Amino acid sequence: MCPQPLNQLVPDMGTLTRQDEDCLYLNIWTTDLAMNYRNAPVLVFFEGEGFVAGAPSRFPAQDLAAEGLVIVSVAYRLNVFGFFCLEDLEARGNLGLLDQYLALVWIHENIAAFGGDPRSVTLMGHSAGATSVMYHMISPRTANLFHRAIVMSGSILSPWSHSQHPANTSRAISRSLGCMVVNQTRQILTCLRNKSTTEILRAFETQYMDGNWTDMILPVTDDFLPDIEQYLPKSPLEALRDGSFLKIPVLTGTTSHEGVIAISHWGGDLLAQGYSQLLKLFTSSILPMVMSRYGFHNHNSKAEIAAILKWQYIDSVKPGDTQGLISQLTDFYTDAQFKAPHLKQLQLLAKSDISVYAYQFEQSGVDLFGKDFNISGAGHGTELVFLFGPTLIQSSIGRRFSSAEERLSIAIKRIWAEFIRQGSLGSNPYGYGFSWRKYSMEEDNYIILRTQTTLQPDRLKPDLDVMGRYRISMWNELLPQIRNISVSKTPTVKNGVKGMQLTTDQPYRSAMYTLIGFVVILLILLIVCVILLKRRAKERERDLF
């Protein structure tokens, strides 16, 4: 494995413990069929957790390759080794993404020797790997290297996917290692290269584990480089908004309870801490951290935004209900870190003239992260177990599929394989009894993947649907609007002491902003309800597997 904190890996995913900077390798699975007949479709897989940890060998792909595919999984540099950046040519950042890019170039030039077709390459990513796929889609340097994209449980718009101030964190780590005696990049790098891998990792872990997640070492827009050297010249949001990305078919989705991965990082003793300690953890640490990543922490409205989030996720929990509080924390992380940015990305993709297919994976019973928390639903990474099949569930969970789970796994493998081959999904792929149409913002149509095939598409609980949509709208629309309304300068006294500020209207100003915020909440709730009622009146079709 590339150097990384081992405690960030999925538990029970094998016995991979050896680390080395000599880690840039590919794993390739092919079949006799592909070798004999050539020109098999190619699937390139990126994984990883938060660009901090990852090991592609955790995911054996022989079961998926048996669908007649050539599968390639790619290792890339992580954390400080992959994304250290001082915002200049000598410490440019994005080295982990460039590792992936060079792997794509190698695959383009060599995959035919393994029976693969370099003209039919699908890039698939999960979590940090999913955001990596999107970064390659918006890079101007990847044309013709891949032709379809599968984006699972990750968005380029997620608050954990992009660094706003990478040099700050990189300098902090350098300073902790005694390498900031000068500010010249070359001398800083020389100093760091004299440190051991263990020392550098320990410095990174100190920064990361202390909760300094607001300015992590992550991919960065590299417009500070000369044009010929830039890999990501535009910010993710700007690129999606103006259509500066590869126009290729996309299959994308999330699981129902992605946030399990976040609470799992707080440790298995989370339940033992009790309600009061968990509530304190949320208000003093979790809430400020997420607000900071969203840019809500430095505005006049931060108190109002914090109150809204506490009201939405915490105030409904009965005092003393520890399990209920953990469930709400899971929803908080799921919405903020995954579902809200995913929907925003999905809608921006759908505005362009490409085929986009959306899903939500809801099958419970296989949980890689939240085994200690008794949370129903599909956690982060669950869909990978069903996609990679019997070999993976045996190695990660230690059991076999049930008969219903096996049918779902077979269906998912074949559906994914059809998209990999065709870049589209027919009206009834492989005879599984449902129609999967391209996503449109008007219909908001996506497929729910789970084993309960007897349920009908209109049997989703409308109250849960309304509240779920409201919470996503809150993150994507309401809270940014409140922040923008509250950004204003306080006038200064021109004929008094220099810099003295008028303060007599501040209580009224604060009350006004609070009132505006809650009025906007009520308006959005009303709008969401009206829209959903109209959709249900027209019997909006949701495809359900």
Q: Which residues are catalytic?
A: 127
What is the signed CA dihedral for 235, 211, 292, 80, rounded to 10 degrees?
A: -10
How far is it, in rounded angstroms, from Cα 79 to Cα 216? 9
How far is it, in rounded angstroms, from Cα 133 to Cα 126? 9
Which of helix, strand or coil describes residue 355?
coil
Q: Are the C-beta atoms of 434 and 447 separated by less than 8 Å?
A: yes
Q: Would you give the distance in Å from CA 466 to the centre of its chain?
A: 23
How far is it, in rounded angstroms, from Cα 468 to Cα 240? 24
Please name the amino acid found at residue 239.
A
Q: Which residues of 154-188 are buried (b: 16+ CB within 10 A; e: fewer)?
A: bbbbbbbbbbeebbebbbbbbebbebeeeeebeeb
User: Under 8 Å CB-to-CB from 457, ≥6 apart: which residues?
Assistant: 541, 542, 543, 544
Cα–Cα distances in angstroms (integers) from residue 413 to residues 351, 366, 384, in the given order: 28, 17, 10
Cα–Cα distances in angstroms (integers) from residue 513 to residues 294, 327, 451, in the given order: 19, 31, 47
Q: What is the 3-state secondary structure (H, E, C) of 15-74?
A: CCCCCCCCCCCEEEECCHHHHHHCCEEEEEEECCECCCECCHHHCCCHHHHCCCCEEEEE
Q: Name residue 152's beta-bridge partners.
A: 126, 253
Q: Which residues of 218-255 are buried (b: 16+ CB within 10 A; e: fewer)?
A: bbbbbebbeeeebbbbbbbeebbeeeebbeebbbbbbb
Strand segments (E) across 288-354? none
How far is it, in rounded angstroms, from Cα 332 to Cα 100? 31
CA proximity to 257, closest of 396, 373, 403, 121: 373
User: Under 8 Å CB-to-CB from 215, ≥6 apart: which residues?
Assistant: 163, 164, 165, 166, 168, 169
Q: Count H helices, E strands: the chain?
A: 21, 8
Q: How many residues does the chain have?
A: 545
Which of helix, strand or coil describes residue 453?
coil
User: Under 8 Å CB-to-CB from 219, ≥6 apart: which residues?
Assistant: 51, 83, 93, 94, 96, 97, 131, 132, 135, 161, 162, 163, 232
Helices 166-176 and 197-209, packing angle to 10 deg: 120
Q: What is the 3-state secondary structure (H, E, C) of 137-149?
A: HHCCCCCCCCCEE
